[in-house]
């Protein structure tokens, strides 16, 4: 029996978790990644309980999460610009929802997902990873993608996990929606905790970079979101800035690996005290990108192709759900393709992909909307009326795509 050929475009979190979820008997899975997977991304990433449960329980990757030097986030702390703790929200997700909010250095988590996808010790054949394989075209009805050098790769199922600037999405929608500027940009920094302790002790006397908490500070509509990674060895900072307050051109910074200018960042954050801004000078690199998201798409699949992750539902990082929703997508793929070991017909495949869309669309669209509104000033009019505790429960009670789809009203799109 010929193998069920699955081609995944994109070797990020979405691509590799989809590969993990889809491994099985008589399946031949290939990940096409445009980079060489050797770019160190200095950023932290979190898995919310809805995602960490899938990774630990559904996929059995507890050892891999430990190897990625997970930190269990114990809560949120809000400080004023004097360094005074003004609010503290403990996280009891393990008690309430049966899973923790876990924080990682992005590269560590990515490496462990890649290792699991390509390991010979898991069910099914190890995933093949092809780097320097940039996809430039796609034919959803034929089940083919074309690489930059002209090579055509054929799959019985093609998964577009190629991010917010997806090449494949326009072939699914038969139009090309542009990612929308959200009015905010974000600097990202990563600093060894030992450096902070030696060079900016005043900061560490107010905010301990090794403690397992997410810390926040707001001034003049700019906000810092900070937390530890690698068991407290490094401290990550995401600095959100309204575009109109930028001293750089935000429209030119659309790539995750775009560089920022330290002097211009210091100008933007001049309302913050020096015991905070002195920290910025000690990051080995300084990233800056304009935050963009997508309005909900009218469909995610066509022919033999389905979009997932940021390609389908890019969202702001304000709720920390971007990677977690990609993992939910991957779980949905695994659940709805369970037991299928030979290539489905186009008609059968279309039905499966529509079931995945129906199971995921309404939920992820609400999370997109909530994430967008969370970036607005407190006085701005809100269209999503869930309270934070209600939204937390909405996120964390998730038990997988099939269970969720049995409780929801079908989507008309």
Residue 394: inside a domain, yes or no?
Answer: yes
348-393 per-position pLDDT tens digit? 999 999 999 999 999 999 999 998 887 766 656 667 777 878 888 8
217 and 321 share one domain: no
233 and 344 share one domain: no
169 and 195 share one domain: no
In 178-296, which ranges are continuous DSSP H helix? 193-199, 201-206, 262-268, 274-280
57 and 126 share one domain: yes
> What's the confidence (pLDDT) of residue 97?
86
When divided into structural domains, the chain yields a total of 2
> What's the confidence (pLDDT) of residue 378?
60
Show Cβ contacts of residue 235 under 8 Å, excluding neighbours closer than 6 positions.
190, 191, 192, 193, 196, 209, 226, 227, 228, 229
Residue 80: inside a domain, yes or no?
Answer: no
61 and 208 share one domain: no
Low-confidence ranges of the chain (pLDDT < 50): 413
193 and 153 share one domain: no
165 and 211 share one domain: no
36 and 157 share one domain: yes
- From 293, 311, 343, give the residue that closes a domain: 293
Residue 129: inside a domain, yes or no?
Answer: yes
Residue 319: inside a domain, yes or no?
Answer: yes
164-212 per-position pLDDT tens digit? 999 999 999 999 888 888 889 999 999 999 999 999 999 999 999 999 9
311 and 227 share one domain: no
113 and 146 share one domain: yes
120 and 160 share one domain: yes
- For CA atoms 233, 212, 21, 135, the dihedral sign is negative
- The residue segments making up the domain with residue 253 are 182-293
Integer Cα distance of 389 and 387 in angstroms: 5
> What's the confidence (pLDDT) of residue 413?
46
């Amino acid at each position: 029996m010929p193998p069920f050929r699955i081609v995944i475009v994109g070797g990020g979190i979405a691509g590799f978790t989809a590969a993990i979820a889809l491994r099985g008997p008589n399946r031949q899975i290939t990940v096409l990644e445009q980079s060489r997977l050797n770019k160190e991304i200095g950023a932290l990433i979190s898995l919310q309980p809805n995602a960490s449960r899938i990774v630990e329980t559904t996929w059995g990757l507890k050892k891999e999460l430990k190897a990625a030097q997970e930190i269990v986030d114990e809560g949120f702390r809000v400080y004023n610009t004097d360094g005074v703790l003004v609010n503290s929200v403990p996280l009891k997700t393990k008690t309430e929802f049966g899973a923790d909010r876990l924080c990682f250095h992005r590269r560590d988590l990515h490496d462990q997902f890649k290792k699991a996808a390509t390991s010979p010790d898991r069910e099914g054949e190890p995933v093949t990873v092809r780097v320097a394989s940039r996809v430039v075209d796609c034919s959803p009805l034929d089940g083919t993608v074309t690489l930059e050098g002209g090579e055509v790769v054929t799959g019985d199922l093609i998964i577009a996990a190629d991010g917010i600037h997806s090449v494949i999405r326009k072939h699914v929608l038969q139009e090309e929606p542009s990612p929308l500027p959200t009015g905010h940009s974000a600097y990202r920094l990563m600093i060894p905790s030992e450096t902070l302790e030696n060079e900016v002790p005043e900061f560490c006397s107010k905010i301990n970079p090794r403690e397992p908490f997410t810390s926040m500070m707001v001034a003049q509509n700019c906000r810092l979101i900070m937390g530890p990674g690698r068991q407290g060895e490094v401290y990550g900072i995401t600095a959100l800035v309204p575009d109109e307050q930028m001293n750089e051109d935000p429209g030119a910074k659309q790539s995750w690996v775009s560089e920022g200018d330290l002097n211009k960042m210091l100008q933007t954050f001049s309302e913050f005290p020096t015991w905070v801004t002195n920290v910025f000078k000690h990051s080995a690199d300084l990233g800056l990108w304009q935050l963009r998201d997508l309005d909900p798409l009218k469909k995610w699949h066509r022919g033999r192709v389905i979009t997932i992750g940021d390609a389908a539902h890019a969202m702001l990082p304000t709720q920390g759900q971007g990677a977690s929703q990609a993992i939910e997508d991957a779980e949905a793929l695994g659940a709805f393709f369970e037991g299928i070991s030979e290539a489905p017909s186009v008609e059968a495949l279309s039905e499966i992909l529509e079931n995945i869309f129906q199971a995921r669309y309404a939920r992820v669209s609400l999370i997109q909307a909530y994430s967008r509104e969370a970036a607005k000033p407190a006085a701005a009019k809100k269209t999503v009326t869930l309270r934070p505790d209600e939204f937390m429960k909405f996120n964390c009670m998730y038990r997988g795509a099939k269970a969720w789809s049995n409780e929801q009203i079908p989507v008309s799109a």
